[in-house]
């Protein structure tokens, strides 16, 4: 039996000697070391061997296998080197040409910023519930204190669906859904895509991204809201950021505010993104209106809340100094590849 092993070894080495290219080497390797190769098939002699010799035979086959593998690897490296040297010496070889690397994909800047925001809020104890993109009029408007004849409906031009539902015009319906689902107190954020029937320009898209935030607890305050917003913005920008608060009107908050940050595209000098004002509306926010708490099934005498709606597209533009919102959902790889 040992003779058989020895014989395979001699044959294999003889053939290896003759190989001059990598493809043939690979074929030979499979023939000898593959699952159904010569070495594996030596094992079928096992049954003709007396029991006490079986372990030794097994070991010898294994040794052969390892030995041959080593030979193949060494030979492979030598051949690889030879091929490379031949390529380099080719007079047409130009080492200054750009390489032909396969393109590698990367996360979209919106995904990156969403994940960052989620991480910041998770550390502050916020949960991230799921909620639908196609909504009913009730969740998108009525429950948020925007009845049918309310002028605020014109603030958010709507894509209506044939079945009478709509594409959510903001992430705020998540507030009502969360109030109906969770037992207070809680803190929650809901990132998501929203849709508006808008004319496109450098700062308006029909599809854009928001992150809604909602805190429901006893006696929450405006001070607490402002503090959380400042933490959020400075964590995202990793620097001190100039902000200002203005009163803002939204039917579902009272009092309501507009939080602006200094435009980072033009450093406050004025450009097309900030409409030459030096400030960009970043984030409306406020204390949750009692009617909204009621629609969510909460007693406004017992519970209070604050909410914000952060425009993610704007934020990405500020963070990466992008001057046209249409780049964000445009899908142009020349744009997206810059965020490797």
- Beta-ladder partners of 286: 256, 307
CB 248 to ligand PHE: min, Å: 7
Q: Are strands 253-262 and 279-288 parallel, antiparallel or unpaired?
A: antiparallel
When the beta carbons of 259 and 318 are compared against ligand PHE, the nearer one is 259
| Residue count, binding to ligand PHE (CB under 6 A) | 12
Three-state SS sequence of 205-241: CCEEEEEEEEEEECCCCHHHHHHHHHHHHHHHHCCCC
- Beta-ladder partners of 259: 245, 283
Question: Quick one: which of 109, 284, 296, 305 contacts ligand PHE (CB under 6 A)?
Answer: 284
Which has the closest alpha carbon to 79: 18, 33, 37?
18
Question: Quick one: which of 109, 174, 192, 309 contacts ligand PHE (CB under 6 A)?
Answer: 309
Q: Count CB neighbours of 106 within 10 A.
A: 13
CB 100 to ligand PHE: min, Å: 46
Answer yes or no whether residue 316 interacts with ligand PHE by CB under 6 A: no
x/- contact string, 162-201, with ligand PHE (CB under 6 A)? --------x-x-----------------------------
Which has the closest alpha carbon to 211: 117, 138, 82?
117
Output the CA angle 258-263-269, nearest 5 degrees.
Answer: 125
**Contact range with ligand PHE by CB under 6 A, out of 10-18, 67-75, 159-167, 305-313:** 305-313
**Helix%, strand%, coil% for the chain, nearest 5:** 45, 20, 35
Answer yes or no whether residue 253 interacts with ligand PHE by CB under 6 A: yes
**Contact range with ligand PHE by CB under 6 A, out of 2-10, 22-30, 261-269, 280-288:** 280-288
CB 172 to ligand PHE: min, Å: 4
Nearest residue (beta carbon) to ligand PHE? 309
Question: Quick one: which of 251, 308, 316, 328 contacts ligand PHE (CB under 6 A)?
Answer: 308
CB 309 to ligand PHE: min, Å: 3
When the beta carbons of 186 and 250 are compared against ligand PHE, the nearer one is 250
Question: What residues contact residue 339 under an 8 Å CB cut-off, 6+ apart?
Answer: 106, 107, 108, 109, 112, 320
**Contact range with ligand PHE by CB under 6 A, out of 4-12, 84-92, 127-135, 249-257:** 249-257
Instruction: Give, in order, the Cα–Cα distances in Å from 221 to each of 61, 225, 291.
Output: 78, 7, 18
Answer yes or no whether residue 285 interacts with ligand PHE by CB under 6 A: yes
Q: By three-state DSSP, how is residue 307 classified?
A: strand
* Chain positions contacting ligand PHE, by CB under 6 A: 170, 172, 212, 250, 253, 256, 284-286, 307-309
């Amino acid at each position: 039996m040992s003779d058989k092993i020895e014989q395979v070894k001699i044959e294999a080495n003889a053939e290896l000697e003759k190989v001059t290219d990598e493809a043939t080497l690979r074929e030979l390797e499979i023939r000898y070391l593959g699952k159904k190769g010569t070495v594996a098939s030596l094992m079928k002699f096992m049954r003709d061997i007396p029991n006490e010799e079986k372990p030794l035979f097994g070991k010898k086959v294994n040794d052969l296998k390892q030995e041959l593998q080593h030979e193949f690897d060494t030979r492979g490296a030598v051949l690889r080197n030879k091929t490379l040297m031949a390529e380099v010496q080719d007079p047409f070889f130009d080492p200054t040409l750009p390489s032909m690397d396969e393109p590698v994909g990367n996360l979209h800047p919106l995904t990156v910023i969403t994940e960052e925001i989620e991480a910041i809020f998770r550390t502050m104890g916020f949960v991230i519930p799921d909620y639908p993109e196609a909504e009913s009029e009730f969740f998108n408007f009525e429950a948020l204190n925007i009845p049918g004849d309310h002028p605020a409906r014109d603030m958010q031009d709507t894509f209506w669906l044939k079945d009478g539902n709509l594409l959510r015009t903001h992430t705020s319906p998540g507030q009502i859904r969360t109030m109906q689902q969770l037992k207070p107190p809680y803190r929650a954020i809901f990132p998501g895509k929203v849709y508006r029937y808008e004319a496109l320009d450098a700062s308006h898209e029909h599809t854009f991204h928001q992150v809604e935030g909602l805190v429901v607890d006893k006696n929450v305050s405006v001070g607490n809201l402002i503090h959380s917003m400042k933490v959020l913005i400075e964590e995202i920008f990793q620097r001190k950021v100039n902000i200002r608060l203005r009163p803002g009107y939204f039917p579902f908050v009272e009092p309501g505010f507009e939080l602006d940050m200094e435009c980072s595209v033009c450093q406050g000098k004025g450009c097309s993104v900030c409409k030459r004002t030096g400030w960009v509306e970043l984030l409306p926010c406020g204390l949750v209106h009692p009617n909204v708490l009621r629609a969510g099934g909460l007693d406004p005498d017992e519970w209070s809340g604050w909410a914000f709606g952060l425009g993610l597209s704007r934020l990405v533009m500020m963070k990466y100094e992008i001057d046209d919102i249409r780049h964000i959902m445009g899908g142009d790889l020349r744009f997206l590849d810059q965020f490797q």
